[in-house]
A and B are shown apart, each in its own frame.
Chain A
Amino acid sequence: MDKQLAQLKFRDPARARALGEALNRVTQEIGRDPISVMHVCGSHEQAIARYGLRATFPRTLNVIMGPGCPVCITDVPEVDEGVALALAGVRVATYGDMLKVPGTKRSLADARADGGRIDIVYSIAQAVDLARDTDEEIVFFATGFETTAVATAAEILRGLPKNLSILSAHKYIPPVMEIVSEMPGSRVEGFLAAGHAATITGSAVFEPFAARHKLPVVVAGFEPLDILAGLLALLEQIRDRKHDVQNLFPRCVNREGNLVAQDKLWRVFEPQGGRWRGIAHIPNGNLRLREEFANVDARKRFKIDIKSLWEDAPSQLTQHCICGDIMSGIAAPKDCPLFGKACIPDSPVGACMVSSEGTCRIWHQYGGVPDLREEQR
């Protein structure tokens, strides 16, 4: 009984159909073609692709994945910093997804093949454990959005082992929404905000953005029905010319967010402008360690020479990668001539094919789902 109930609630076909019909009705009432909305979360894209939701969307509804994959937007020089450290003999610990992300000339995987020591960890706590077991210097290459940066901050505040330092490539999502919505060619009419990042920041963080850009923002969960309900709320706002922040994910998100986590996050990090790979310079989009934590900042502890990695021009193939345009919402993976041919998960050309949260990787894995919608057109 329990299990049956769970399945019913989870993918109740009647509710899904009702939501689908409502989506159809509202898109017709809006009457534009296409109506483009953006989500900024790899897990949303996974769910959309995995459950074949695009095939059920109204034909005029275009749901784009924006810069919601922290691995994909880690900039090339940031990867170069990790590579340079590894090649200089420093042990680098990082999340597994980072390994194949291309730098200017080499990825961390290439650095490892050249003798660099790279440790894969699932969490900063595991990097701490590694450091406790040795006298060698270890650098934790810290990537991820605010949700992940909170863990880095908490561990730093607790006190790191002397031989552990942090190379922060952490990113902060709210500012990038501003930039992407202002991009020339952007027709994004509303945002589906990432549920778990909003667990930390709270939904209120989007209020100034929604007011300034007159764009609605809906915080939504990850189940198929959550996503359909989130899209419906977004489209209703577009139809009614509203631009409110709505929270449809109250089980994980409230208005003010997790204040304990925010306090730790901002005590350790400060926002700084920086490039997001392939997209643009994002003012306040990078999380950098505050001056008080210079003693654990790998950029201060080591002289990181990335210039020597730049002597050769980047390979021809990488220049064809259009990840940036995909994450900005002006192109789709099928627009890339390398997609599924020269660029596949085993030998990725661009960062979006590396991570389980990258658009190209997700479309490659669950292929056929997006195409179905194409055929209907």
Chain B
Amino acid sequence: MCLGVPGKILSISTEGDRADVDFFGVRREVRLDVVDEPVSVGDYVLNHVGFAIRRIPESEIGVTLELYEELIRRADENDLMTADVRGEMNAARKASDG
């Protein structure tokens, strides 16, 4: 529950309160109610239980993604960290068109 998951914003709803986000190839919808600053398409955000909680500064994206890519690609299903990351991804609603 402590581990947020980063994802890339693909589109933003017309009301501006939701965004479709790409989580390592999985498309999900997250809420933008509590993100710390305005976001736009192409930005990376850190997400927790279905809410974006921080826009990740451009310069920090590479280092931020590494841990997660390693977890998702290499770890087995029983790995606790991987399970937590997958849980976070499941916390976001299925994107309407994906």
A residues neighboring B (CB under 8 Å): 6-7, 9-10, 41-44, 46-47, 50, 68, 70-71, 95-97, 122-126, 144-145, 147-148, 150-151, 154, 157-158, 194-197, 199-200, 222-223, 250-252, 258-261, 264, 356-357, 361-362, 365-366
- B57 CB-CB contact with A under 8 Å: yes
Which residues of B from 8 to 66 have beta carbons under 8 Å from A?
A: 31, 33-36, 46, 48-51, 53-54, 56-57, 60, 62-66
Q: How far is the CA of A34 from the CA of B65 in the complex (A)?
A: 35
Q: Are A125 and B93 in contact (CB under 8 A)?
A: yes
Closest to A196 in B: B4
Chain A facing B: main interface SS: helix
Q: Are A147 and B48 in contact (CB under 8 A)?
A: yes
Q: Are B67 and A223 in contact (CB under 8 A)?
A: yes
Q: Are A43 and B87 in contact (CB under 8 A)?
A: no
- B97 CB-CB contact with A under 8 Å: no
Q: Are A196 and B56 in contact (CB under 8 A)?
A: no
Q: Are B66 and A10 in contact (CB under 8 A)?
A: yes
Q: Are B4 and A124 in contact (CB under 8 A)?
A: no
Task: From A124, A251, A357, give the contact of B56 (CB < 8 A).
Answer: A251
- B72 CB-CB contact with A under 8 Å: no
A contact residues around B57 at 8 Å (CB): 250-251
A contact residues around B31 at 8 Å (CB): 125, 154
Q: A10-B66, A251-B63, A252-B56 are in contact. Are A147 and B80 (CB under 8 A)?
A: no
Q: Are A71 and B1 in contact (CB under 8 A)?
A: yes
Q: Are B46 and A122 in contact (CB under 8 A)?
A: no
B contact residues around A258 at 8 Å (CB): 34-36, 53-54
A contact residues around B90 at 8 Å (CB): 122
Size band of the B side of the interface? 35 or more
Task: From A50, A151, A250, give the contact of B48 (CB < 8 A).
Answer: A151
Task: From A7, A70, A250, give the contact of B1 (CB < 8 A).
Answer: A70
Q: A10-B70, A147-B1 are in contact. Are A47 and B48 (CB under 8 A)?
A: no
Closest to B79 in A: A50
Q: How far is the CA of A153 from the CA of B67 in the complex (A)?
A: 29
Which residues of B from 64 to 94 have beta carbons under 8 Å from A?
A: 64-67, 69-70, 78-81, 83-84, 87-88, 90-93
How distant is A371 from chain B, measured CB to nearest CB, in Å? Answer: 18
Q: Are B2 and A154 in contact (CB under 8 A)?
A: no
How distant is A155 from chain B, measured CB to nearest CB, in Å? Answer: 8
Q: How far is the CA of A287 from the CA of B31 in the complex (A)?
A: 22
B residues neighboring A (CB under 8 Å): 1-4, 31, 33-36, 46, 48-51, 53-54, 56-57, 60, 62-67, 69-70, 78-81, 83-84, 87-88, 90-93
Task: From B48, B66, B78, give the contact of A196 (CB < 8 A).
Answer: B48
Q: How far is the CA of A329 from the CA of B57 in the complex (A)?
A: 35
Max chain B Cβ within 10 angstroms of own Cβ: one of A9, A46, A157: A46
5 A-B pairs closest in CB distance: A251-B60, A122-B91, A123-B91, A123-B50, A258-B36
Q: How far is the CA of A259 from the CA of B36 in the complex (A)?
A: 7
B contact residues around A44 at 8 Å (CB): 2
Q: How far is the CA of A9 from the CA of B60 in the complex (A)?
A: 13
Q: Are B51 and A194 in contact (CB under 8 A)?
A: no
Q: A148-B49, A154-B34 are in contact. Are A47 and B81 (CB under 8 A)?
A: yes
Q: A144-B1, A196-B3 are in contact. Are A362 and B33 (CB under 8 A)?
A: no
Closest to B34 in A: A261
B contact residues around A366 at 8 Å (CB): 80
B contact residues around A264 at 8 Å (CB): 33-34
How distant is B48 from chain A, measured CB to nearest CB, in Å? Answer: 5
Q: Would you mind naming 15 contact pairs between A and B with Cβ atoms under 8 Å apart?
A: A7-B66, A97-B1, A125-B31, A145-B2, A150-B53, A195-B2, A199-B46, A199-B53, A222-B3, A222-B67, A251-B57, A258-B53, A258-B54, A264-B34, A362-B80
